[in-house]
Amino acid sequence: MKKTFFLLIAVFCLSATAKNEPKDSKTSFAKTVLQPYVDSGQLAGAISVFYKDGVQETCCIGYADVSNKRPIKMDNVFMQCSQTKGFCGVTIAKLVEEGRISLDDPVSKYLPEFVELWVLDAANDSTKTLRKAKNVLTIRMVLNHTGGFPFEISAKRSDVRGGGWSGGAPLRQTASIAAASPIMFEPGTRELYSNTGIDIGAAIVEVVTGMKWEVYLKQEVLDPLGMKSTWFWPTDKQLKNKIELYETKKNAPAEWREEMGWQQRPYNDSHVFASAGAGLWTTANDQLKFYKMLMNLGLGENGVRILKEETVKNLLALSTRPKGLGGYSLGLSAPEQDSEDAWFGHGGAWGTNCSVNWHKKELKLWVVQSAGGGQPWLAEIDKAAERFFAQPLSKSGVDAYTGRTE
């Protein structure tokens, strides 16, 4: 009897997993436009995923490592850089949802060093004029880049060995240095893209939860979604199979780069600190789990709910900035107004990008490790995506998982 019971449970679990698997679209829109660039060597390798309501085109083309002819795969780790910001946004959204914080709370309520801020009012070669800030800095402002903070604090300068977003300082120290430094404008009046602001948000999470931000992230987001390959400190084994960095050359093969200034080797030793502005390593498989959760309004493909539908709709899928300052929510690029054609998501400095449309259950993921030189194939990838989403897609034989359950 027991054997029969457990067999039924196993069959049920396997059946549920199979239902959540997307159907292969049997299309090759991305491969068609990318193949000439790979053949010429200008593009070392890339991953493209188009998804629409249960149907998916997956393209892994070229190499993760050209010199060793190692094919690029969905489980190769890569640095997602600023796509880390969206993960911080989700942790902040969770605390808002639980009533533990409000987006309009003063940052100083949790980090008292921010009670008094100084604005760099004017500067030239010989003088700097500072004035006391009039506006109250809020959690909303630091998460949507309207707080006035520079891109990085001085301790994370990329021209200093050990600096950059993966080194430099722990989150609480980053916040303290930021509070003691001049800001660039009156909080809430302009926008300036800033890793520092996102790190301040993560420091608030630490105060409220009593946990390291990365530990809270792992406990509340990464582990529940099954993102086992996403972390700030990739293992040596993962790094051996990482997607290598390549600089694009005009009409010539891409050139391998060992590292970038903002992210310096070794990638997993004690000099690396978790940064919410940038720094998470991940895989294409894991990225899909995170962004499909956003696309499904807080529900993971494995059936685990991370956020309520209304939380995603109001705090992540729509801009939280004042009108006229561009669209940005909590660590994510997002439209100022909602519509059926509205997308939200984020990109990373090495050329990665992922965005979703929750209305139509659509997703576009792009993975590459670009060390500069541009990406001349992007316009063609956009056209390939348009062709994919425009075609009639059959879901016959598939119980497509759309995340509509509460």
Helix H, strand E, coil C: the string for 155-190 is HHCCCCCCCCCCCCCCHHHHHHHHHHCCECCCCCCC
Report whether pLDDT(375) > 70: yes
- The single-letter DSSP state of residue 243 is P
Kindly compute the dihedral angle of the four CA atoms of residues 155, 157, 162, 165, in this order, to the nearest 10 degrees: 90
Pick the more confident residue, 3 or 337: 337
pLDDT score, position 154? 80
| pLDDT 10s digits, 15-55 | 444 456 899 999 999 999 999 999 999 999 999 999 999 99
| 161 band by pLDDT with thresholds 50, 70 and 90 | low
Report whether pLDDT(285) > 60: yes
Report whether pLDDT(261) > 90: no
pLDDT score, position 163? 59
| 153 band by pLDDT with thresholds 50, 70 and 90 | confident
| 403 band by pLDDT with thresholds 50, 70 and 90 | very low
Mean of pLDDT values over 173-185:
95
pLDDT score, position 37? 98
Report whether pLDDT(2) > 50: no
Mean of pLDDT values over 1-5:
47
Mean pLDDT across the chain, nearest whole number?
90
pLDDT score, position 160? 57
* Of 40, 8, 52, residue with least CA distance to 365: 52
pLDDT score, position 262? 78
pLDDT score, position 394? 63
Assess contact for 256 and 244: CB atoms under 8 A: yes
| 295-327 per-residue burial string, b: 16 or more CB within 10 A, e: under 16 | bbbbbbbeeebbbbbebbeebbbbbbbbeebbb
pLDDT score, position 66? 98
Assess contact for 113 and 175: CB atoms under 8 A: yes
pLDDT score, position 298? 98
**Gap between the Cα atoms of 333 and 72, Å rounded:** 28
Report whether pLDDT(404) > 50: no
pLDDT score, position 166? 60
| pLDDT 10s digits, 112-132 | 999 999 999 876 556 778 999
Question: Where do the DSSP E strands lie in 93-154?
Answer: 118-123, 128-132
pLDDT score, position 6? 43
| 399 band by pLDDT with thresholds 50, 70 and 90 | very low
| 252 band by pLDDT with thresholds 50, 70 and 90 | very high
Segment among 127-131, 252-256, 398-402 with least mean pLDDT = 398-402
Mean of pLDDT values over 237-241:
97
Assess contact for 256 and 208: CB atoms under 8 A: no
pLDDT score, position 405? 27
Report whether pLDDT(400) > 60: no
* Of 245, 291, 252, residue with least CA distance to 87: 291
| 230 band by pLDDT with thresholds 50, 70 and 90 | very high
